[in-house]
Amino acid sequence: MRFAAILLLLLISALPLRAQDEEVVLGLSQNRVAITASFDGSEILVFGAVKRQAPIPEQPMEVIITVAGPDGPVTLHRKARKAGIWVNADTVRIDRAPSFYAVATTGPLDKILSQTEDLRHEVSIPRAVRSVGVSEVVADPGNFTDALIRIRENEGVYQQLDGEVTFDQQTLFRTKITLPSNLTEGSYPTRIFLTRGGAVVADFETVIDVRKVGLERWLFVLSRNQPVVYGVLSLVIAVVAGWLASAVFRWFRR
């Protein structure tokens, strides 16, 4: 009996896998962003198509596109008034939070993606922020996560873009993601999810590379590899700039 079960498993594994009925074919207006001294932001056009092996089903499809910046820990402080002064009452460390996160969709995210799928793929902004262990420090960990999201939404680095994905004839899709000027250098994973009835039926991922170039890159590398030289150079530049400003001021007074 055991031998028969093993044989059946081997036969099943030997069968060719069925090709995915719907797949993503993706394009980007640019897959590399250069941060220069005059960099004031950028706009990425994300576009693509749905490749099908069968006729379009009757149930409509939805598209979700996410772009995430490098993540890292974040420390949050909650202030309270004690003895007439404001002090840090609670301090919480968020394990992981993306430096940038944008979610663009064809419709309201909570309508086109189930909570189970959101938990599985970490699509929504709250799911992208990892705060495991915070509940052991404070009684209301959700307030700290909400505060972080609210602050970064106001800064423009967290973006919820419901209805910003155009989907033509259930085949061609496109959207624009605005990258702010205060970008963190690194790789920006870009994911596309095709959903139907709240469930993910196909997904695709690529990467946008964000790097400093020119003088910005040289100064960044110098500050990391030779901090003493970087500090001396900064001091020299500050002294020279101060001397020039003083000289110009004296010249105008004559």
**Model pLDDT for residues 65-109, shown as the tens digit of each residue:** 999 999 988 887 776 667 667 666 667 778 889 999 999 999 999
Query: What three-state secondary structure class fits 215?
Result: helix
DSSP state of 134: G
Burial of 183 (0-12, 13-18, 19+ CB in 10 A): buried
Residue 100: phi and psi, rounded to 5, are -145, 140
**Residues 173, 28 contacting (CB under 8 angstroms):** no
* Each residue's pLDDT tens digit, 104-148: 999 999 999 999 999 999 999 999 987 765 555 556 667 778 888
**Cα–Cα distance for residue pair 248/37, rounded to 1 Å:** 25
H helices present in 62-114, as ranges: 109-112
Indicate if the pLDDT at residue 176 is higher than 80: yes
Alpha helix (H) residue ranges in the chain: 2-14, 109-112, 115-121, 125-128, 141-155, 214-225, 227-253
Asked if 48 contacts 26 with a C-beta cutoff of 8 angstroms, the reply is: yes
